[in-house]
């Protein structure tokens, strides 16, 4: 467990805690007698603040959906406690349900109904009806680019259209907190970009708090204010995307010198912000916190010392590297059983649509 | 407070109005029974000639002919058959995750069940009345037996008939809905339903009078909710004065069954709905299995 929780600027802006999860655990009962149950979520704690986009990043079977189900009262935790706007999810589930919107991982719209009917019925379930509600539904459908297909049966929708309808349905009662379980799954790049814009604008204009799960590293990186990385039911790191990446010791600067040049290691190590230097043939790999500013300084310093620099690159750390560092396996390899530590996360992946 | 339940009813209504298939399938067997079994199996023809019609009539709860007697039984059978389909929607909603979405909203668990019961229970009356209409029509077809009712049916008689049909519908709708909440798959649901269908029908007096049965069977038949409903309906259609008191007793018995089935269904439904259903709805079914 890497302790990155609550560092950086968070204490400077005291914000309302909207979601508070304390040591949540979920053990699914065994499907066959005599076998052991599945530990889906194994002691997860985190807080989501008002007006932030909080991402749950993790591979298949990590426990993301299970966590959402517990926070939205659909599953009772085996142990642990969670509150939504201060209300305990186990003690007062009915009040909690009023507070939140939820978009499921798989499509739950009624296929035999039109998009608009789905929205109005959902509104009715929250006790909302009338011209204002219809107008809001139309507005949401328009924002989701579904205005022209609003009165067609959902079974004639494409996958992406269904996904966007789910989002519209989840927003119909104007929740201040919304849970999105893999909201951009199956959206094309344009659709994803549009969705990101939409979520950000809601956050900015209405102060919406968003809890979303995702498989996509770039989505976590670009959309989320803070990320919790979850693997095998445990949160292994929490922080802003930059904090997580900085935890790797920052940027990597690679300095390639002409064969036969003197060793620049002592020189590089003396520079501010440098944490380590390793040599791979004629390339020196420098871990540093300030990659860009180190470029001119290192090149200049080396040249003055008579070292012939032939190339220099700076790479920013990626979340993939963070993941590799935290779990010992690369994010993309997850599910490919190639070692004793991997494979166990992939085998639990529920089959799509399996009930 | 009623709006959430009304929304669910509206959803079911919209689905139904677009594909009212199960009314057709629910009508199939009662209609077949009416035009084949009811025509062929005329008990009256077994009597030697010369026996006064009143003998037959009194054995048949006052019905003027065997077919009329039988047709009323089929009215009850039609609503029970239609009710057999009421639990299927719940299973599909469970499998598609629609039930989970409904449960994530603030609607009360009881409303989810009751809105289904109200809508399905009412729908179940449609086939019952279609069978009445069909049987009455048959009376006007030459060489075909049809339903003939006694003259002088009062408003109270008609009301009794409708109430009996409605309570019977609600009772069996509740029963089959509860199976729908409990079942995980459509196969197991129809497994149970098919096992029940014939015994429920054959241990009633829908098809033949109780008086020709062995004593042990008479007890079972006497308390079968179909028999209770059919007794009331026959009295209302063929009734003579003096039957009224007995009709209330039968209605009360039928009502007791309905209460029992509704309570059982409420129990099973709230058990199934309590833990909401996690990913894939798996825990929903698990909640019932335990
Ligand atoms: N209903 C269930 N019954 C038993 N085990 C379950 C159930 N739902 C999920 N699991 C198990 O719990 C673990 C976590 O599942 P979960 O659905 O929360 O993962 P996830 O992070 O949402 O994965 P994905 O990215 O594939 O959606 C998995 O090992 C899964 O097999
Ligand atoms: Mg999931």
Query: What average pLDDT does chain A have?
Result: 84
Mean pLDDT of A14-33: 87
Are residues A108 and B100, on separate chains, in Cβ contact within 8 Å? Answer: yes
In CATH, what number does A249-315 get? 3.30.70.980
Listed in sequence order, the residues at least 6 apart from A120 whose beta carbon sits closer than 8 Å to its beta carbon are: A129, A133, A134, A137, B7
Mean pLDDT of A79-85: 94
Give the one of B3, B277, B286 whose C-beta lies nearest to A129's C-beta: B3
Beta bridge partners of A252: A287, A315
Ligand 1 pocket, residue A348 CB under 6 Å: yes
Tokens 């003939």 identify what position?
A: B148
Are residues B277 and A74, on separate chains, in Cβ contact within 8 Å? Answer: yes
Rounded to a whole number of angstroms, the distance from the CA of A82 to the nearest CA of chain B is: 16
pLDDT value of position B105: 93
Ligand 1 pocket, residue B289 CB under 6 Å: no
pLDDT value of position B243: 61
Are residues B106 and A104, on separate chains, in Cβ contact within 8 Å? Answer: no
CA A344 to ligand 1 centroid distance, Å: 12
Are residues B1 and A127, on separate chains, in Cβ contact within 8 Å? Answer: yes
Distance in angstroms (rounded) separating the CA atoms of residues A217 and A55: 10
Q: Where are the domains of chain A?
A: 2-99+175-245+329-334, 249-315
* Top-confidence residue, A276 or A8: A276
Using a CB-CB distance cutoff of 8 angstroms, which residues of chain A are in contact with residue B286? 28-29, 31
Strand boundaries in chain A, DSSP class E: 17-28, 38-49, 53-57, 79-84, 87-88, 100-103, 177-181, 209-214, 226-231, 234-239, 251-257, 274-280, 283-288, 309-315
The answer to whether B102 and B90 are in contact (CB under 8 A) is no
The answer to whether A319 and A241 are in contact (CB under 8 A) is yes
pLDDT value of position B127: 87
Are residues B104 and A102, on separate chains, in Cβ contact within 8 Å? Answer: yes
Residue A1 has pLDDT above 80, yes or no: no
Residue A11 has pLDDT above 80, yes or no: no
Are residues A75 and B283, on separate chains, in Cβ contact within 8 Å? Answer: yes
Distance in angstroms (rounded) separating the CA atoms of residues A213 and B213: 66
What confidence tens digit (pLDDT) does each residue in A88-141 have? 999 999 999 999 999 998 889 999 999 999 999 999 999 999 999 999 999 999
Nearest residue of A to residue B8, measured between CA atoms = A121
Residues above pLDDT 70, as percent of chain A: 88
Test site for ligand 1: of A29, A38, A217, most ligand atoms within 8 A of the Cβ? A38
- Smallest Cα–Cα separation from A257: which of A289, A228, A280? A280
ipTM: 0.83
pLDDT value of position B113: 92
Ligand at minimal distance from the CA of B279 is: 1
Confidence tier at A338 by pLDDT (50, 70, 90)? very low
Which range, of A83-87, A202-206, A254-258, A335-339, averages the lowest pLDDT?
Answer: A335-339
B101/A contact by beta carbon, under 8 A: yes
Q: Rounding to the nearest 10 degrees, give the CA dihedral for residues B241, B245, B247, B249.
A: -170
Ligand 1 pocket, residue A349 CB under 6 Å: yes
Tokens standing for residue A285? 């790999």
CA B32 to ligand 1 centroid distance, Å: 49
Residue with CA nearest ligand 1 atom 1: B282
Nearest residue of A to residue B103, measured between CA atoms = A74
- As a whole number of Å, the end-to-end CA separation of chain A is 34
Residue of A106, A125, A130, A162 to mutate when probing chain B, most B C-beta within 10 A: A125
B270/A contact by beta carbon, under 8 A: no
Residue A346 has pLDDT above 90, yes or no: no
The answer to whether A38 and A233 are in contact (CB under 8 A) is no
pLDDT value of position A8: 42
Q: Would you say how long chain A is, in residues?
A: 355
Residue with CA nearest ligand 1 atom 18: A63
Listed in sequence order, the residues at least 6 apart from A88 whose beta carbon sits closer than 8 Å to its beta carbon are: A81, A82, A96
3-class secondary structure, B129: helix
Q: What secondary structure does DSSP assign to B76-125, as a single string?
A: HHHHHHHHTTTTHHHHHHHHHTHHHHHHTSS--HHHHHHHHHHHHHHHTH
Q: What secondary structure does DSSP assign to B47-63, as a single string?
A: SPTT--HHHHHHHTTT-
Sign of the Cα pseudo-torsion (B57, B61, B62, B66, in order): negative
In CATH, what number does A2-99+175-245+329-334 get? 3.40.50.300
CA A45 to ligand 2 centroid distance, Å: 18
Tokens standing for residue B79? 């609503």
Test site for ligand 1: of B279, B284, B288, most ligand atoms within 8 A of the Cβ? B279
- Smallest Cα–Cα separation from A239: which of A249, A227, A224? A227
What confidence tens digit (pLDDT) does each residue in B143-155 have? 888 888 777 777 8
Low-confidence ranges of chain B (pLDDT < 50): 241, 277-290
Tokens 């770039």 identify what position?
A: A218
Residue with CA nearest ligand 1 atom 11: A40
pLDDT value of position A353: 37
- Smallest Cα–Cα separation from B2: which of B77, B111, B85, B93? B111
Listed in sequence order, the residues at least 6 apart from B262 whose beta carbon sits closer than 8 Å to its beta carbon are: B117, B170, B171, B174
Rounded to a whole number of angstroms, the distance from the CA of B17 to the nearest CA of chain A is: 10
Give the one of B1, B105, B290 whose C-beta lies nearest to A125's C-beta: B105
Listed in sequence order, the residues at least 6 apart from A228 whose beta carbon sits closer than 8 Å to its beta carbon are: A46, A54, A55, A56, A57, A235, A237, A238
Mean pLDDT of A12-21: 79
A270-A274-A278 Cα angle (round to 5): 95
What confidence tens digit (pLDDT) does each residue in A156-166 have? 999 889 999 99
pLDDT value of position A243: 85
B3/A contact by beta carbon, under 8 A: yes
């Amino acid at each position: 467990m890497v302790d990155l929780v609550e560092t950086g600027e968070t204490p400077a802006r005291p914000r309302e805690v909207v979601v508070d999860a304390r040591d949540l655990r979920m053990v699914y009962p065994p499907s066959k007698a005599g076998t052991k149950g599945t530990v889906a979520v194994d002691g997860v704690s985190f807080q989501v603040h008002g007006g932030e986009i909080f991402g749950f990043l993790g591979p298949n079977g990590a426990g993301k959906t299970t966590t959402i189900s517990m926070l939205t009262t659909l599953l009772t935790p085996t142990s642990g406690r969670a509150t939504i706007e201060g209300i305990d999810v186990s003690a007062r589930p009915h009040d909690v349900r009023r507070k939140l919107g939820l978009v499921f991982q798989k499509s739950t719209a009624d296929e035999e109904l039109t998009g608009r009917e789905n929205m109005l019925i959902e509104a009715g379930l929250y006790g909302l009806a009338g011209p204002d509600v219809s107008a809001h539904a139309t507005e949401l459908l328009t924002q989701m680019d579904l205005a022209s297909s609003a009165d067609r049966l959902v079974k004639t929708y494409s996958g992406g259209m269904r996904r966007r309808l789910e989002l519209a349905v989840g927003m119909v009662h104007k929740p201040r907190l919304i849970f999105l379980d893999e909201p951009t799954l199956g959206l094309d790049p344009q659709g994803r970009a549009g969705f990101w814009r939409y979520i950000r604008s809601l956050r900015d204009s209405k102060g919406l708090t968003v809890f979303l799960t995702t498989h996509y590293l770039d989505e976590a990186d670009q959309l989320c204010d803070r990320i919790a990385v979850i693997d095998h039911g445990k949160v292994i790191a929490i922080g802003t995307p930059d904090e997580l990446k900085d935890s790797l010791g920052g940027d990597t600067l690679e300095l390639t010198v002409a064969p036969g040049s003197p060793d620049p290691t002592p020189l590089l190590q003396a520079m501010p912000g440098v944490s380590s230097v390793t040599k791979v043939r004629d390339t020196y790999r420098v871990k540093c916190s300030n990659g860009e500013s180190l470029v001119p300084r290192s090149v200049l310093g080396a040249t003055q010392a008579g070292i012939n620099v032939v190339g220099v690159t700076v790479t920013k750390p990626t979340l993939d590297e963070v993941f590799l560092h935290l779990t010992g396996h690369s994010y993309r390899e997850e599910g490919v059983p190639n070692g004793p530590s991997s494979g166990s996360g992939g085998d639990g992946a529920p089959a799509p649509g399996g009930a | 407070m009623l709006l959430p339940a009304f929304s669910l009813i509206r959803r079911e209504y919209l689905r139904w109005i677009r594909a009212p298939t199960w009314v057709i399938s629910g009508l199939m067997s009662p209609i077949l029974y009416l035009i084949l079994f009811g025509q062929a199996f005329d008990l009256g023809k077994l009597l030697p000639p010369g026996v006064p019609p009143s003998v037959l009539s009194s054995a048949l709860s006052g019905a003027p002919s065997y077919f009329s007697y039988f047709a009323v039984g089929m009215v009850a059978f039609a609503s029970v058959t239609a009710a057999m389909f009421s639990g299927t929607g719940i299973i599909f909603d469970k499998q598609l995750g629609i039930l989970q979405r409904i449960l994530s909203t603030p609607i009360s668990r009881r409303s989810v069940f009751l809105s289904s019961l109200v809508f399905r229970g009412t729908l179940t009356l449609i086939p019952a009345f279609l069978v009445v209409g069909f049987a009455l029509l048959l009376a006007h077809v030459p060489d075909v037996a049809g339903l003939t009712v006694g003259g002088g049916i009062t408003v109270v008689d008609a009301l009794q008939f409708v109430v009996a049909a409605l309570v019977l519908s609600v009772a069996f709708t509740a029963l089959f809905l509860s199976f729908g909440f409990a079942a995980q798959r459509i196969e197991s649901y129809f497994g149970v339903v098919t096992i029940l269908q014939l015994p429920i029908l054959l241990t009633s007096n829908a098809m033949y009078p109780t008086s020709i049965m062995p004593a042990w069977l008479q007890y079972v038949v006497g308390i079968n909710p179909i028999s209770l409903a059919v007794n009331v309906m026959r009295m209302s259609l063929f009734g003579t004065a003096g039957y009224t008191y007995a009709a209330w007793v039968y209605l009360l018995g039928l009502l007791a069954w309905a209460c029992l089935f509704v309570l059982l269904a409420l129990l099973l439904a709230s058990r199934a709905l309590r833990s909401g259903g996690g990913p894939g709805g798996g825990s929903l079914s698990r909640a019932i299995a335990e």
